Amino acid sequence: MTWIYTLLSNRSILKLLLIVNILGTIYGYYWYGWQLKDTPAIFLPFVPDSPTASLFFVFVLIAFLLKKNWPLIEALAIVTLFKYGIWAVVMNVLVFMVKGEIDGIGLMLVFSHLAMAIQGVLYAPFYRFRWWHLIVTAIWTLHNDVIDYVFFMLPRYHMLDLYIPEIGYFTFWLSIFSVAIAYYFGVRHNRKTLKINL
């Protein structure tokens, strides 16, 4: 398995991932644009979930390229990348089940968000966050759930409106599971040193 750490530590791979995540973040904020126009200013930081998750990872990658670690950002990145990556995959599968079809954009969302979840976990051995970083992240994540399902700031899938209570319940437990994933891969497991190679 050491080959995978060598690959992940490759400077060209890190730069490529940085570019991909920057572009994905920009597109994500654009995708949320119409919803953000209707969002009260106080809720703005909590609405564009996926692009904010990839933005956290952008800063993680920048830190890696500078041979640094920013632990709180790393904790926020792995939890939100996994949570919103898996959440978007499940929501688009539900859209397919309700509509009986999925379009090209839906497929793109499935694969891009699955990649989000995977990349967050793949780099976990290189993170340096501790318990308190994870506690702060858990508070942020669960607070975001409250904003989404108490104040109804969740991403809008109108064809799933009838299932919002069930989606909210699923999302809460997905948040808990995502924090557990971050603990398991980022705190409990043996940590690796990121030795960037050409």
Q: Is 194 helix (H, G, I), strand (E, B) or coil?
A: coil
Q: Is the CB of residue 89 less than 8 Å from the CB of residue 113?
A: yes
pLDDT digits (tens, 9 = 90+) for 48-93: 999 999 999 999 999 999 999 999 999 999 999 999 999 999 999 9
State residue 154's pLDDT score: 87
The residues near 115 (Cβ < 8 Å, ≥ 6 apart) are 85
Single out the residue of 186, 151, 145, 183 nearest to residue 167, CA to CA.
145
Whole-angstrom Cα distance, residue 83 to residue 178?
6
pLDDT digits (tens, 9 = 90+) for 136-176: 999 999 999 999 999 999 888 878 888 999 999 999 999 99
The Cα angle at residue 50 between residues 151 and 106, in degrees rounded to 5: 100
Specify the number of domains making up the chain.
1
State residue 109's pLDDT score: 92
pLDDT digits (tens, 9 = 90+) for 24-46: 999 999 999 999 999 999 999 99
Whole-angstrom Cα distance, residue 76 to residue 184?
15
Q: Does the pLDDT value for residue 190 go beyond 80? A: no
State residue 1's pLDDT score: 62
36 within a domain of the structure (yes/no)? yes
198 within a domain of the structure (yes/no)? no
11 within a domain of the structure (yes/no)? yes
Q: Does the pLDDT value for residue 124 go beyond 90? A: yes
The parent domain of residue 24 ranges over 2-188
pTM for the model stands at: 0.94
Please name every residue paired with 10 in a beta bridge, in sequence order, or none if there are none: 197
Q: Which residue carries 């979840």 as its tokens?
A: 117
Q: Is 197 helix (H, G, I), strand (E, B) or coil?
A: strand
State residue 45's pLDDT score: 93
Estimate to the nearest angstrom the gap between the alpha carbon of 75 and the chain centroid. 11
139 within a domain of the structure (yes/no)? yes
197 within a domain of the structure (yes/no)? no
193 within a domain of the structure (yes/no)? no
